Structure 1
Amino acid sequence: MTVALFTLGGTIAMAGTGSGGVVSRLTGADLTAAVPGLAGIPLDVRDVEAVPSAALAYRQILDLVDAAGAAVADGAAGVVVTQGTDTLEETAFLADLVWPHPEPLVFTGAMRNPTLAGPDGPANLLAAARVAAAPVARDLGVLVAFNDEIHAARFVRKTHSTSTATFASPNAGPLGHVIEGAVRLLTRPPRHAPLPPVDSDRLAATRVALHTVTLDDDPALLDALAPGLDGLVVAGFGVGHVPPDFAPALGALAARMPVVLASRAGAGSVLRDTYGAVGSETDLRRRGLVCGGLLDPYKAKVLLRMLLAGGAERAAVDAAFARHG
């Protein structure tokens, strides 16, 4: 019952460099050697390029998903990916959109690097390996194991810049926990069918932007943002509201490209038809914006870019957001 381990760097793999700060240095062998309890889980360790997660790109994650799928085809019971936490909520969701296998693909990392007292990387790696090896974790898609909690990639968010309990799923809660070494699931949300593969060149050429609306915002910023875009995500106030003078500008953009309306609130859904003022969610949907539902702006951007890179037309974009959001 081998678990494949792919290491991508990040805080979990950082070591000291004197006065210059910590950088990614530790290999997968270094990481596993520091984890009591891993001896009972055979690991196939594969070091990938060690970079901060802020340096990762879609293509790297999609290539990693392909490699993880090959490991599963070769008999791995599941796969663990270690990386930095800065973009983990986005990379895990991207992987979840395309992961077709019943075997678990589990992302994890650390908030305290190994040079600090109480580093959390070893415990997170052990929990992730246990989840990846657990038969009960099959058919859940991509998961995030952190702080002995198990989260669905489509729900999880990084909620704190430094806390070891940073990962949470505000709209759903954790799917389960690792308790005394055992994987205990509380719920099993249904999976969505994976998106079809996308062409690398088309993905690289697909440009999707995210604009977060703020108090007394300037709609002229959209004019500067729009040229060359294939799609736009707007993180609106609350349930999906923007200043009134944003509404016609967004409507004009929605006539040219998909514009997805999400909420900047951090939890909860964009509504569809509760408020009726200019700039409300009802008004914006009438102007052609796509309702992002429960998807936060970062995940909405990932989904929209993948859909557009795959050649999805407007109706397919609407349907995908209705399904995932």
Structure 2
Amino acid sequence: MSSTNLDAPSPKLTLATIAVVVGLHVLTAVALAAVKTPEMKVEPEKVTPPIEIELITPPPPPPPVEVEEINLKEDPEPVREVKPKPKAKPVAAPKPKVVEKKQPVEKPKPAKLTPPPAKQDTTPKKSPDTQAADKQLEILAAKAAQARRDELLAQQKERANANAQAIKDAAAAQAIKDAAAAKAAADAQAKADARAKADAEAAAAASNTPQSFSGSDASWIVAPDFTGISSKSQTLTIRFTVTKQGVIQSINVSGKDRDAVREVKRRMGNSKIKPFIRGGVAVVGNVTMSVVVQ
């Protein structure tokens, strides 16, 4: 019976240890790959203080599992030296890019206009005597100006009075002229009226004086008919007067046949004649005419 080395590890245990180590490394790599880089959201620019960005560091890989060696009393077979596989380096997560926050561009503020300094009164102060003299001069100047205004006002008033008097005088002269012209016109009209009256009276007197006319001067409205008066032809003389209104008056017939004379008078009374005109005026006319009756 051969002796067994109890201090040597079992080959199965060694392989199991190696498998566990490799599995842990694989899990670590998968965990690191699964870690996502946080997305940085860029907010719109605001007038705010810069934002502090905190970098996220991926969790460190778990420490390797320590494998305790189990000493068996049995003499294990000589263990071959197994070279450990190189450990996979942990994959470092990409560092997130730090987005620098742009500082807001401040608009230039309008420059404040500083008002110009107030002008200082550099006029030298006058002494009390000088001030009193200036005051006296001002009083004299004011009095002179007032006197000038009063003088101008008096001149204007005088001119206004003169103009008013001139207008009044002109109106009075015009009134005298108008009165004289009216009197002259009245006198002329009176003379004309007197002359017209005299002429009318003269014409009336002349028209009332009978004027002599012949039968041929008469203008008949209804002429007398002297036919059928007598059985024999005879000549009769007729005299009559015609008023200014055309009325036949004072009929006188001369003849031997009384019946014929009477009939001629009757027919002359039934006739109508226009008044006689002399000088545009109706006058009384005495008419003498001869007629033949039969």
Shared fold, TM over 0.5: no
Rg larger in structure: 2
Bigger helix fraction: 2
* TM-score, reference length from structure 2: 0.15
The structure in which a higher percent of residues are strand is 1
TM-score normalized with structure 1 length: 0.14
